[in-house]
Structure 1
Amino acid sequence: MNPFSELGIRHDIVNAISDLGFSNPTPIQEQAIPVLLSGSNDFVGLAQTGTGKTAAFGLPLLELLDFEENYPQALVLCPTRELCLQITNDLNNYSKNVKNVNVVAVYGGASISDQLRQIKRGVQIVVATPGRMLDIINRKAIDFSQVQYVVLDEADEMLNMGFQEDIDQILSTTPDDKKTWLFSATMPAEVRRIAKKYMDNPHELTMGSKNTGNANIDHEYYVVRARDKYAAFKRIVDFNPEIFGIVFCRTKIETQEIAESLIKDGYNADSLHGDLSQQQRDKVMKRYRERSLQLLIATDVAARGIDVNDVTHVINYSLPDEIENYTHRSGRTARAGKTGVSISIINSKELGKIRQIERVIGKQFVKTEIPNGFDVCEKQLFALVHKVHNVEVNEEQIEQYIPRIMDEFKDLSKEDIIKRFASLEFNRFLEYYKNAPDLNAPAHEDRGERSDRFGRGGSRGDYTRLFVNLGSVDEFTRGDMLGFICNTAKISGKSIGKIDLKGVYTFFEVENAVAETVQQNFKGAEYNGRSVRIEVAGDRDSGGSRGGRERSGGRREGGYGGGRSGGGFRDYSGKKREDRSGERSGERRRRF
C-alpha cells in the first residue's frame, strides 16, 4: 500500500503523485497531513525550503474541498510570482485525476484581465501574491465570504517584503471561522505575532530546531581582498566543473553586472531580478531548468520560490543584510534529501557576520582556501577524462565515420591519442592559470578597501565608443545586445566594455584593437528586416547623460566556464523590461 494512502489521501490523488515520482512522504508531510486532514485546527508548520511543504498543505486541501461547488473555498498567499506559479502547477498536477478542480494563479507582472476572466469562470483555490490579490479585492471582483481555508506560505518572507498591511486587508474579507495554516522556514517575532493575531490555539509542528539550516548542506567561506572578489569567484567556479548553482547578490545592479561579466568571460550565466518582466523571467528560468544555464545570478526576492532540482552550490557573492535570508538562500540546494554546498565570499570585516549566521543556523562554517592555478587545472583535466570515459556513444551514427577516424589516427599510439584529447581542453587552462596569483587575503590585511567591483584595471582610453541604431524598443536587454554584437562582429565578449542601452539606440565600447573589425563586420547587417547602422559615437552623446552606472575601465579578467556546455550565448530574444506590479520592497528589516 502506498504510504500516502495510509496518511488518508484518496486513491486518485495518490496515483497522480505516484506518477510524479513521489513514493514516500517527507517528514513534514508525514506529520502535517493527518493533522490538516482533520480540518479542525489552525496550524503552524516550521520547516526548511525543499522539504515538501507544498504537498503538505496541497494534498489536504484537495481532500477537504467540495469541487462540485464553483466558488473560492481556499486562498493560498505567497511572497513571489515564481512561488505562486509553482504552487499552482503542483496543485494542478496533484489533482489531474480529480474532476472540476479549478486553481487560479493571481500575481503581478501578468495581465490582470486574464486573471479576472479565470476567476469569473469559477474557482475553488486561489493562489496569490498579496499585492495583486488586494488589487482584485479592491475591484470587488472576488468574494471570499465562503473561504474555509487560508494558507500563508513563506510567511516570514512575506513579512520581510512589507506585506503585513496587505495581508491584514485581505484576511479581513474572509470569515472568522476559517482555518488558517501558516508555513515558514524561520520563526522570527513578526511571524509569531501574525500567528497569534490570526489563529486560535494552533497546532504547531517544527521540523528540526527553529531557524536552523538543512543538515545536508556544507557551509564554506573564503576570505579575499575586495579587488580580487570577482576573480576569486570565477576560480571557485572553475574548480567545480560540474557546478549547477545559484549566485546571490544584494542589489539588482550588482546582479546584472556580474551576469554580464560572466557572459563576456564565456560562462553560461544569466540574471534574475525584480526589473525583469514576467516573459523575461520565464525565459531565464526555462533555460536554467533545462540546464542550458549553469549559473543563475539572483537577488533574494527574485529567487524566492525557485524549486529546481539538483542545485549543487549556492554562492553568496554578497552576504544578505538579514540573517534569516541566509537560511532561505542556502535552502535552494540540498533539496529533497540531497546534499549541497553553500559558499560565502567575504572580506575580513565580515567574519563577524559569519559567526552570527553560525549561531542562528546551528552549524559551523569551514574556512576554505581559494584553489591555486595548478589545483584548478588538475580538477578540470580529470573532469574532462571522466566525461570522455562516460560519454554515451551513438554506435549507429558514428559507425560510418570510424574508417576515416582510424585512418587519421593510424600513425598515433593509444597514449598519443589520449594525450591529444586531454590537451584539447586542458591546454587552455594551463595557459590561463600559468603564474596565477594567490587570491587568498592575508589574515592581517584589511580587506574592506575600496576597489573596482571586478578587479579591473585600465582606462576608458583603451576603448572606442560606438553607436548602433538598435535599443530597448527592439526588445533588447543588455545581455541580448552583448550577444548580438559578438555574433555580428565575430569578436569575443571580453573585447567589449560598457553597454549603454537606450530606447532607440545603444552606445557600446570595444577595445581599440578590434574597433575597425567591428565596423567592417557590421556592414550590410540587418535586424528584423531593418538595416543596422554602426559608427563611432563622436559627438552624438556629448553633453548628454550616459545613463546607468559608470564603472571603471579595463577589460575583465578572462576565464573559462568550468564544465560549460558550448559556452557563450544561446538566444537573444529578450523582451522589453517592465515594472513589476503586485510586489513590494522590503520593510522593517532586521540588520546584522
Structure 2
Amino acid sequence: MENQTTKEAGTDRTLFGQIELSKKVAQAIFDMGFEEPSPIQAKAIPAILEGKDMIGQAQTGTGKTATFGIPMAERLDPKDGRVQALVLCPTRELAIQVAQEIAKIGRLIDVKALPVYGGQSIDRQIRALRYGVQVVIGTPGRILDHLSRKTLRLNNVRMVVLDEADEMLDMGFIEDIESIIKETPEERQTLLFSATMPAPIQKLARQYMKNPEFVTISRDKLTVPLIEQVYYECKESQKADALCRVLDMEEIGAAIVFCRTKRGVDELVASLESRGYFAEGLHGDLTQTQRDRVMKKFREGKAELLVATDVAARGLDVENVTHVINYDVPQDPESYVHRIGRTGRAGRKGIAVTLINYREYRQLKLIERVTKARIQRRELPSMADIMERQKEAHKQRVLQLLQAGHFGDYKSIISEMADEYDPMEIAAAALKLLVEGPEAEKEAEDEVSEFGNTGAEPGMVRLFMNIGRAQGIRPQDIVRTVAEEAGIPGNVIGVINIYDKFTFVEVPEDVAGRVLGVMHQNMIKGRKISVEPAKAR
C-alpha cells in the first residue's frame, strides 16, 4: 500500500486517504490501482458510509463508480444472497463496466454483481438471480422486464444508485425509473449522479431522496502546460516493445514513466533493464532511504528513466525532465494534467507521450475535451526508422572521432586487413557490427490480423453495423460519423455496402480497433448501433 496515503487504522481497518475501510475492501481497491481518493471520492464516500442520500454532479472520468462501489462493498452483507443494491444505468455498455468495477471492489469479500440488459439472454440472467447476487446493475427496460416476470425482487434493497441520470432522462427513462424506485423500500439510501442537473432530475431528487448531500466537482478551469502532447496506439501485449521504440527514437534527457500500480512499476523496470535501459522504480513500498537513493541516481543522470506511480511522484521537483510518458492511461483528466506538468518547466521544451490501446481511445478524447488540449497521434516508429536514426547517431560519433584523431592500435588492425579487403568494406562492416550487433533484428511483416478474415481488401477490415436503409442511413452519414468519432480522414474509409437493416464498411486495419472502440454503442442519426468485425462468407 502507498505509504504516502494509507496507514493502519486498527486491526481490521485501513485508511484510504482519510477514509477508514475494511482491510479486504482497501486491498481490493489498491490492487485496482487506486492509491488515494479522487476529489469526488474524498467528498462523497464518508457521507455515503454514514447512510446519507447524495447527489453527485460529476462528469465521466472522475472516479464516480468507485464513489458508490466502495461504500456499497462496505455496507452490504455478502452472506445474504438477496439483492441488496440496485444501480440503474442508461446503456448496456455502462452497466457492464459498472458491474465489472463493483465485482473487483468486492472480490475479496465475495460480493457478487450482475449486469442485466437487453440483448442478452434473459434466461441466463434469471439463472444468475436465482443463484444469488447482492448487487444488480441494469438498464431500466430490462429491470422492469424482470420485475414483471417476478424474477427480480427489490424488497431487500438498501441502496439505489441512479448513474448518469441526465442521460437516462434524454433517453426517456424517467417514468421507468420512478416505477422501479417504487418497488424498493422507503428506508433505502438513494444516490444520484449526473453531469448536469436539468429540472426533471431535480424533481426526481426532491420526490425520492431525503435531505440529500450535494457534492459537485468542477473541471471547467482544468488546463495543461504549453508542451507538446502526442499519443501512440498499440496492442496491450506489445506495450513494452512500443515504449522501447519510442525511447529509441526520442532524444530523451530524463523521463518519468507513469504506471497505474506498484506491481506495474516493478514489472516495467525489470522489462526495461532486461533491454539495456537504465531505469529506477518509485512507489509507496519503498522506504525513505530507498526513495532517496532512487532520486539521487535520477537527478545525477545515472538513471535515464524514473518509473513511478502517481502518488509516489507527488511533490517531485526535478529539473531537466524532457519527457513524461503515460505507460498506463491516467484514470481521469486531473491525473493527466498533474503528470505531464512535470516536464516543460522553466520555459524548457517538454514532451508528453501517452500509450493507448484502441479501447482507451474514448478516455483519451475525454482528456482532450476536458483539458481543451490537442493530443497529436503519431505512428509507432518501425525498426527501419530506429535503425536509420541509430545509423545517423553513429555517423556523428564517427565524425567526432575522425576530427579528434588518436586511433592508436586500431590503424594497424585496418592496415593488416586492407591487404585482403577493401578499406570501404572494412569500415562498413565495423559500423554494421556497431549499429546492428551480432544478430540484426528482423521485424515480422507477416503478422496475422487480430480481426481474422473479414472479407475485406488487403490492409482493410470489414465491419458490420446493425443499421441500414430502413433507418434512413446514407454513405455520407457513415463516413461523417466514423471520421469524426475516430479522428480519421473520411477518404481512408473504403467500400460501404448499405442493406435494408445492416451495413458493411471497410476501414484501414491500423485504425480498425479504434473505430470499433468508439463506434460500438455510439449513435448515428440519433440511433444507437452495434459494431463488430464482419465474418468472411
The alignment's TM-score, normalised by the length of structure 2, stands at: 0.48
Which structure is larger by alpha-carbon Rg, 1 or 2? 2
TM-score (norm 1): 0.44
